A and B are shown apart, each in its own frame.
Chain A
Amino acid sequence: MLHTILQLTLLLVSLSMLGLIYRLIKGPTTPDRVVALDAIGINLIAIIALVSMLLDTFAFLEVILLLGILAFIGTVAFSKFLEKGEIIERDRDH
């Protein structure tokens, strides 16, 4: 029963991934695409958790924390680039 629920949830998350990829390709503005990429990163975490439950192993659980950190850093860097035009500022310029 739990196996069926796991497969059903994996199906739901994969469908939601398809919708996010549609928004990533079509999104009219760049912030739209960044929002979609952030949500894709979050959904990928869910897929890793579900697959590690389906395979019944806890070898992949480090990847979850790593992917969360990477998605956050990527989103912060991208939004800083959109807002200021550079990611790492030089103090002497101001």
Chain B
Amino acid sequence: MTEIIRFLIGFLLIVGGFLSLVTAFGLLRLPDVYTRNHAASKSATLGVMSILLATFLYFYLEHGHFNSRLILAIIFIFVTAPVAGHLIARAAYHSGVKLWDKSVQDDLKNKKEYEQQNSN
């Protein structure tokens, strides 16, 4: 394994660890569910994808072991994590979780009122 590949793997690992720390800070410090969901679904996905890419490179270049499950896992996480985030945010809105006090605009609220008026 050449030194520059080692450097690349180390860089990807550091980026992944930093992004997962950013996720934790976002979940601790942001004010409401929607902003926290925004932080969690994006940075955690990118962080774990870069760590898995580093793992794949490590096993491929150190042991010559081409692990296709890791590539499948990277693609699967890339496809499903935003979908899961979208579903949680939607469920939170429809189960009546309030937005942050300082939010300025809520387009779905007007839509809900409009539908109620039309049904009555």
Cβ-neighbour of B87 out of A1, A6, A8, A75 (below 8 A): A75
B positions within 8 Å CB-CB of A: 6, 9-10, 13-14, 16-18, 20-21, 23-25, 27-28, 33, 36-37, 40-41, 44-45, 47-48, 51-52, 54-55, 58-59, 63, 65, 67, 69-70, 72-73, 76-77, 80-81, 83-85, 87-92, 94-95, 97
Known: A35-B36, A65-B76, A79-B88. A8 touches B14 (CB 8 A): yes
Q: Let me know if B44 and A62 touch, CB within 8 A.
A: no
The distance from the CB of A3 to the nearest CB of chain B, in whole angstroms, is 10
Q: Is the interface of A mostly helix, strand, loop or mixed?
A: helix
Please give me the 9 A-B residue pairs with the lowest Cβ-Cβ distance, nearest first.
A19-B24, A12-B17, A31-B92, A16-B24, A79-B91, A9-B17, A82-B91, A79-B87, A75-B84
A1 lies within 8 A of B6 (CB)? yes
Mostly helix, strand, loop or mixed at chain B's interface? helix
In the assembled complex, the Cα of A16 lies from the Cα of B25 at a distance in Å of: 8
Q: How many A residues, CB 8 Å from partner?
A: 51
Which residue numbers of A lie inside 8 Å of B, CB to CB?
A: 1-2, 5-6, 8-13, 15-20, 22-23, 29-32, 34-36, 38-39, 42-43, 45-46, 49-50, 52-53, 58, 61-62, 64-65, 68-69, 71-72, 75-76, 78-80, 82-83
